Chains A and B, each alone.
Chain A
Amino acid sequence: MNQASDAPFRPYAPGSQPPLDAADYGSTQKRHPISALVRLPGGHTATELTAPRFSPARYPAFADLTAPGGGKALGERIIVAGRVLDEDGRAVPGVMIELWQANAAGRYDHTRDQHDAPCDPHFHGAGRVFSDEDGRYRFITIKPGAYPWRNHHNAWRPNHIHYSLFGSGFAQRLVTQMYFPGDPLLAFDPIFNATPDTAARARLVAGFDLDVTQPEWALGYRFDVVLRGRGATPFEEGRP
């Protein structure tokens, strides 16, 4: 298997990614290109195969979102932990993960959020962590609330935490959302449901995990993230 650092990244698996033109998500209507995306004639180059290396020394980690400035955020404290892996199941170390979310009442600490729900002076809702040598990461936050949006009549976003990840090549760049198990709003959410493949959608939902849960303190959720792999797929491997 060609997994050298200059090996090209694999194409996305069919159905694993949402389309740019997602009919049920109104904001995509005027924002998706009409022309087909263009492939690089010779494949990936240094621009796609390499990526910025963010060091925690320069971009400090901020792994406890519940206590900015010493106050205590309102809401249900939770622990989220998981691993960053590639498509071959190998750990991806040194990944910078940026996080942001609404507060427990379903309101973002953002001037454009006018939802009639209280702000929390002790919760900003942004964090940054790095994956370790085994690809593991962990942060502490407040379970975000659901909130209404204007996509369609009576539209509500399910509880979610936004993730932004940088891998070892810019072709691995990923922005996604983590959802919570058992959320009844998932069935009605056009953003969650835009991804065609059922299994790919299911992997956007974190699992409740008693091993991540800290006794007498906070519930724990597990959420693993998979970045694109390099080189031939295992399926192609071994073929003449």
Chain B
Amino acid sequence: MPAATASQTIGPYWHLLEDPSWADLTRLGAVGERIALIGNITDGDGVPVSDACVELWQASPPASADWDGFGRAATDVEGNFRFVTLKPGPVPGPPGANALQAPHGAITLFARGLMIHLQTRVYFEGEALNKQDPLLASLEPARQATLVARPEGERDGLPSWRLDIRLQGVGETVFLDI
């Protein structure tokens, strides 16, 4: 059988798909600890990435009738994105491994100039499990910090967490080989 189909860039016109309500993962009525996840995406010259499709997928909390754990947001002209979501809890490790991962979500980036999506994670500063999370523990502190969102207090009525993403160069975000 052939290998998986080749990825191609999402291009600059993917917004034909966009439903802005998808940026709110609680749109189906899920209740819990609601937070905003905000961030800014820049390229290797520090120029805002204004045409990205950002997806947030969380295995925690588990899926239910009013929560599918998935959201999608477009970056604006200044490269900013904003999700509303439920703060995740610990996530089981690899099958068979008796270890928990720290609370996190998967962030997937698609954009013009990305032939295949970039995958990273968002963790949350101050979580006790961060110290023993297998992925975070495998990274040197400066690289680790690129995956950890920091609290920014209340904004627009929600406790807000910031994770900026740098595609290339100084402070480059850790991207994953999934």
Contacts and interface: CB of A to CB of B under 8 A. Distances in A.
A87 B3 contact: yes
Contact of A16 (B4, B47, B99, B168): B4
Interface in A137-180: 162, 164, 170-177
For chain B, the bracket of interface size reads: 35 or more
Given A41-B138, A53-B63, A110-B15, A34 B6 contact: no
Interface residues of A, number: 84
Interface string A42-76: 11111111111110001000000000000000000
A158 to B, nearest CB: 11
Interface in B17-66: 17, 28, 43-45, 47, 49, 51, 55, 57-60, 63
A33 B172 contact: yes
A181 interface: no
Contacts of B121: 47
A222 interface: no
Interface string B103-127: 0111010111111111001000000
A110 B6 CA distance: 26
Contact of B68 (A45, A53, A124, A229): A53
B16 A175 contact: no
A200 B44 contact: no
Given A30-B47, A31-B114, A89-B1, 16 more contacts: A17-B4, A18-B6, A22-B115, A31-B44, A31-B113, A32-B113, A35-B172, A38-B138, A51-B57, A52-B68, A98-B17, A110-B15, A112-B13, A176-B5, A200-B3, A227-B4
6 pairs of A and B residues whose beta carbons are closest in the complex = A27-B113, A13-B3, A37-B177, A52-B70, A31-B113, A18-B115
Interface of A: 6-9, 12-13, 16-20, 22, 25-54, 58, 85, 87-89, 98, 100, 102, 108-110, 112-113, 124-126, 162, 164, 170-177, 191-192, 194-195, 197, 199-201, 203-204, 225-229, 234
